[in-house]
């Protein structure tokens, strides 16, 4: 039976650490899911969280503790936990006790129906309306529209994913909120399951409204990676050609107006606008060319492949190769 790894990043969650371990143990013990381990990652806590994790790890060998040198953020802490995990299936969740570990067996059962990942969809959220629910609903709507991903809840940290899916991605910055989109960009079979959500009873939330702005910026990054990472010229070159065409029209219009009833070229704002648009167009085309060069350096120098293989038939064991990556 495959090993399940539960990865939980924590930042100043000393009061929640022990109840979290107890709830995970109660949900996963009894042979319902087979062997499991709990990987707790202390992301630079200053309230004594790691001392609590150390005591928990000493009491149960299934509890693993990782301590980062400083606060690197939730994405980096999640990646550290995934790298340290040994399981064939990885479950991630928050350490604030708002996710319920009792939902993990249900998600595993759904995963065994043939999916590569099962995501949680929080029902009856126990969060504040203005600070959490409304910004989250807005962000979820925006992500669905921009990325074309059909799911309703992208901010839920509770998910169950097969190891090979996580091996095809690297989390950095604040990309943890786009794990769903990154998973789907790999062509994974994904389902979303309604789960329970509890109110925070201890510790302090790390969420604030400034994250809404960062969501928009990160969304642009994810959209670019998914659509144009292997063909940046299609984006920058396309914008550049539009600007060059607009600039040409502006110059032609100013010349025509000079010899008809309009002002001279130097007094015509269309001439200046056309020249600026042409200059911007040249810059965008140049960005596209540089992007094409960098794309080839990225893939060819590291032996990366712009695809991910789901299955093989009638092949010998594939030779060892660098981690595969994908870009749509």
pTM of the predicted protein model: 0.71
pLDDT-derived band at 310, boundaries 50, 70, 90: low
Q: What is the pLDDT of residue 251?
A: 87
What's the mean per-residue pLDDT of the chain? 82
- Is the CB of residue 158 less than 8 Å from the CB of residue 103? yes
Q: What is the pLDDT of residue 304?
A: 63
Residue whose tokens read 């962000």 = 139
Residue whose tokens read 């009491």 = 59
Q: What is the pLDDT of residue 317?
A: 55
CA 294, chain centre distance (Å) = 22
Q: How far is CA 232 from CA 145, 220, 280, 302, in A?
A: 21, 14, 17, 19
Q: In this structure, are strands 63-67 and 36-42 parallel, antiparallel, or unpaired?
A: parallel
* Strand, helix or coil for residue 195: strand
Mean pLDDT value across residues 48-61? 92
**Whose CA is closest to 255, among 151, 235, 247, 310?**
247
* Strand, helix or coil for residue 158: coil
- Does pLDDT of 325 surpass 50? no
Q: How far is CA 49 from CA 17, 20, 152, 204, in A?
A: 7, 12, 33, 13
Q: Give per-residue pLDDT as tens, 173-231.
A: 777 777 887 888 788 899 989 888 777 777 666 565 566 677 777 777 777 777 787 78
Q: What is the pLDDT of residue 314?
A: 54
pLDDT-derived band at 323, boundaries 50, 70, 90: very low
Q: Which helix (H) or strand (E) holds 160?
A: strand 159-162
Within the chain, strands assigned E span 4-10, 36-42, 63-67, 89-92, 117-122, 159-162, 190-195
Q: In this structure, are strands 89-92 and 117-122 parallel, antiparallel, or unpaired?
A: unpaired
Q: What are phi and psi of 2, to 5 degrees?
A: -70, 155
Terminal alpha carbon distance of the chain: 34
Q: Give per-residue pLDDT as tens, 100-138.
A: 999 999 999 999 999 999 998 877 766 565 656 666 677
Q: How far is CA 226 from CA 128, 164, 186, 221, 222, in A?
A: 33, 19, 9, 9, 6
DSSP state of 265: G
Q: What is the pLDDT of residue 327?
A: 42
- Is the CB of residue 72 less than 8 Å from the CB of residue 4? no
pLDDT-derived band at 25, boundaries 50, 70, 90: very high
- Is the CB of residue 94 less than 8 Å from the CB of residue 13? no
Tokens of 274: 């056309």
168 or 112: which leads in pLDDT: 112
pLDDT-derived band at 307, boundaries 50, 70, 90: low
Mean pLDDT value across residues 63-77? 89
pLDDT-derived band at 328, boundaries 50, 70, 90: very low
CA 17, chain centre distance (Å) = 25
CA distance 194 to 264: 67
- Does pLDDT of 315 surpass 70? no
Q: What is the pLDDT of residue 311?
A: 61
Q: How far is CA 116 from CA 87, 101, 171, 183, 186, in A?
A: 14, 19, 18, 9, 10
Q: Give per-residue pLDDT as tens, 259-305.
A: 887 677 777 888 889 899 999 999 999 998 898 888 778 767 766 66
Residue whose tokens read 């060319």 = 289
- Does pLDDT of 85 surpass 80? yes
């Amino acid at each position: 039976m495959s090993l399940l790894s539960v990865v939980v990043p924590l930042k100043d969650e000393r009061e929640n650490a022990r109840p979290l371990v107890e709830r995970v143990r109660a949900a996963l013990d009894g042979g319902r899911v087979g062997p499991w381990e709990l990987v707790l990652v202390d992301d630079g806590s200053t309230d004594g969280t790691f001392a609590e994790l150390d005591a928990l790890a000493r009491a149960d060998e299934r509890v693993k503790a990782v301590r980062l040198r400083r606060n690197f953020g939730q994405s980096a802490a999640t990646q550290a936990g995934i790298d340290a995990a040994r399981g064939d299936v990885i479950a991630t969740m928050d350490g604030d006790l708002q996710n319920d570990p009792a939902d993990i067996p249900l998600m595993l059962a759904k995963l065994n129906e043939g999916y590569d990942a099962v995501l949680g969809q929080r029902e009856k959220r126990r969060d504040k309306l203005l600070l959490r629910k409304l910004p989250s609903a807005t962000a979820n709507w925006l992500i669905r529209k921009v990325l074309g991903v059909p799911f309703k809840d992208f901010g839920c940290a509770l998910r169950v994913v097969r190891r090979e899916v996580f091996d095809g991605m690297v989390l950095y910055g604040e990309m943890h909120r786009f794990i769903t989109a990154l998973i789907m960009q790999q062509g994974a079979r994904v389902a979303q399951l309604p789960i329970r959500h509890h109110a925070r009873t201890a510790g302090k939330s790390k969420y604030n409204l400034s994250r809404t702005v960062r969501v928009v910026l990160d969304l642009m990054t994810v959209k670019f990676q998914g659509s144009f990472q292997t063909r940046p010229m299609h984006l920058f070159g396309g914008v550049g050609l539009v600007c060059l065409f607009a600039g040409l029209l502006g110059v032609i219009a100013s010349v025509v107006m000079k010899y008809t009833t309009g002002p001279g070229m130097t007094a015509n704002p269309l001439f200046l606008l056309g020249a600026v648009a042409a200059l911007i167009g040249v810059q965008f085309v140049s960005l596209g060319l540089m992007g094409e060069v960098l794309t080839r350096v990225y893939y060819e120098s590291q032996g990366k492949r712009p695809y991910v293989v789901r299955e093989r038939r009638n092949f010998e064991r594939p030779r060892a190769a660098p981690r595969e990556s994908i870009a749509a």
